[in-house]
Structure 1
């Protein structure tokens, strides 16, 4: 009988729960307090900039900015949906698999690492441009919304380096997950047929189907994390 896991369940967003499942490390049962973690990430310079954005005089909205009605809101919503759909297609794109020896785990995982890194870069570029565009539109609506845009700019400048550093660990965690599934492939039974695009090598099998599904779920969950500030800006733009 398989030994039941004694690891405590991890609380938090789906992305964090997925990464915790891919890692052997014992993570805290409860996440750290958000305010305490932010205090560690903000140096005094950034704290002053954020304080000024929150408490200072609201920025003056551009004089030529005008409310263009429902069409404006629909256009922004449609553009966000288009960008999200494009990035999902990047995540779901075929992986360029090199011939597998079934012996070298690092070499066999390399195509998946490349796919993961390419998807992350695409997400970073597309969401960064979209976030900046929405922020510029918000800043032109009113002084109050211009302040919100300024706060978002400070938060992005402060948190993005930390976010990039943490997200850069995802391919490595997926690599560990790949190796564990591969090592236990002989005893793993998922009942899922192996897709035709997976090479018929000793390394391929139901465990690889599971890994590909897990990698896709992790990248989709990361996409949702990257869209959180965009969804907030879009909601502010569409509010009356």
Structure 2
């Protein structure tokens, strides 16, 4: 399985955030990974060490208990990606456009609070989908083989060790996105573009760009969160391809 520190360092999410916030891309992941060793303190090193060194044995699953597979995981991923696509719809919609002396006015630009709530709603949807799926995949992996049981135990410890820090780190993403929003808005105000008389209801170009960047950021965050799922699916596929590993060691 890919280590969490390696995944974070090479994350598309980190590189995209660095670009949007105009921060040194080499610095952001480095700070994060340097703190990783501090997060895994002595209190967590004991269960992690135990999970790594445990002999491991397949865990029994009760008859009739449903366990996910790669097809189910793909359906979950597809649904989350469709919801990201829906974020292209602006928060403010009016059935009748306001006019000034009979001339339609451009639609009002929503303040960032609307976008923050939408981004946080997507983050909550990621949590609600990924965390249960990860636990279910661990259960399926642990039932496959002794090696699978060891990998599931390690993943469970790593999730517990990093969950709070990862949650805090991701919770800061909307604030970085707001900086990007304000920078685009201020740049547009400094050099306003002429309105399109043929379609005055169009969103301003800078807002369309922001929405695209928001979607890119959501996709990158989903990719980041999905890394653990992909690793578990790969491990599950590997253990199923080698049924001899099911023997208890």
Report the TM range for the smaller structure's normalisation. 0.7 to 0.9
Matched residues in 2 for 1:98 and 1:16: separation?
32
Superposed CA RMSD in Å reads 3.0
Matched residues in 2 for 1:57 and 1:16: separation?
36
Match of 1:41 among 35, 39, 51: 39
| Equivalent residue number for residue 52 of structure 2 | 54
| Equivalent residue number for residue 235 of structure 1 | 234
Matched residues in 2 for 1:62 and 1:55: separation?
21
Mapped contact 2:14–2:28 kept (Cα < 8 A)? no
Mapped contact 2:58–2:144 kept (Cα < 8 A)? no
Mapped contact 1:95–1:111 kept (Cα < 8 A)? no
| Equivalent residue number for residue 69 of structure 1 | none
1:46 and 1:230, CA in 2 relative to 1: closer, same or farther beyond 3 A? same
Q: Note the C-alpha offset of 1:144.
A: 1.3
Report SS of the residue matched to 2:51: helix
| Equivalent residue number for residue 221 of structure 1 | 220
Residue ranges of structure 1 left out of the alignment (5+ in a row): 1-10, 66-71
Q: TM-score, normalised by structure 2?
A: 0.74
Equivalences for 1:37-186 in 2 at 5 Å? 37-62=35-60, 76-93=69-86, 94-97=89-92, 108-186=111-189
Residue deviations 1:28-51 (CA, integer Å, cap 9, x gap): 458439875431111111111000
Larger Rg: 2
Matched residues in 1 for 2:111 and 2:119: separation?
14
Q: Note the C-alpha offset of 1:60.
A: 4.2
1:170 and 1:21, CA in 2 relative to 1: closer, same or farther beyond 3 A? same
Aligned residues: 210
Q: Note the C-alpha offset of 1:114.
A: 1.0
Residue ranges of structure 2 left out of the alignment (5+ in a row): 1-8, 95-106, 242-249
Matched residues in 2 for 1:77 and 1:129: separation?
15
Report SS of the residue matched to 2:91: coil
Matched residues in 2 for 1:30 and 1:177: separation?
16
Question: Which of structures 1 and 2 has the larger relative contact order (alpha carbons within 8 angstroms, sep 6+)?
Answer: 2
1:188 and 1:37, CA in 2 relative to 1: closer, same or farther beyond 3 A? farther
Q: Note the C-alpha offset of 1:13.
A: 2.5
Q: TM-score, normalised by structure 1?
A: 0.77
